[in-house]
Structure 1
């Protein structure tokens, strides 16, 4: 497992070995505490929305920033959550951006 590897999982997917389940929409302090302990933290996010849910995406970004590395999400949310998790990793400097563009005006 890579040092900064992150997973976005849908129901039925295999959870990374040794992952600590923080539960469904856990308090931010709990996620930070578990992440500081050094393990892979799994957060479950739920939504009935067929389209990307802004609240779920916002929660995923906060949890990713705090150190959660595995996310269990509904199937329709998986692609959007993957983009959010990748963006947080890029902002933190642990992953290069997918596309680097420089705006010249």
Structure 2
């Protein structure tokens, strides 16, 4: 499986071929070890909240920073997690800018 960017999967999605399922809210060290080994890491995050859950979004940002590429989350949380993944990619410098403008001062 060739994953070039981080992806959000539905909570009932199966584990894609070639991905390592790190489990539900795995220890950060496990995710980091698999990512450092070049594995495509799947992390499952669960919550009962219908609104964006700050704890789930924070966990997603940490796992993304450590190298997780696939995130299995409940549907109400998917948009928030996608925004978090975009933010992490922007901070890491792996996401191109949405708009390039040249300013003259």
TM-score category (smaller protein): 0.7 to 0.9
Q: 1:65 to 1:101 in 2, by over 3 A?
A: farther
Q: 1:68 to 1:79 in 2, by over 3 A?
A: same
The 4+ residue runs of structure 1 with deviation greater than 2 A are 11-17, 97-102
Q: 1:98 to 1:30 in 2, by over 3 A?
A: same
User: SS state of the match for residue 72, structure 1?
Assistant: strand
Which ranges in structure 2 are unaligned for 5 or more consecutive residues? none
Distance in 2 of aligned mates of 1:88 and 1:72: 17
1:50 paired residue number: 50
TM-score by length of 1: 0.87
Distance in 1 of aligned mates of 2:15 and 2:87: 22
User: SS state of the match for residue 82, structure 1?
Assistant: helix
RMSD (Å) for aligned C-alpha atoms? 1.8
- Superposition deviation, residue 39 in structure 1: 1.2
2:6 paired residue number: 6
2:27 paired residue number: 27
Which ranges in structure 1 are unaligned for 5 or more consecutive residues? none
How many residue pairs get matched? 101
Name the larger-Rg structure. 2
Distance in 1 of aligned mates of 2:18 and 2:28: 21
Q: Is the 8 A contact 2:9 2:72 kept in 1?
A: yes
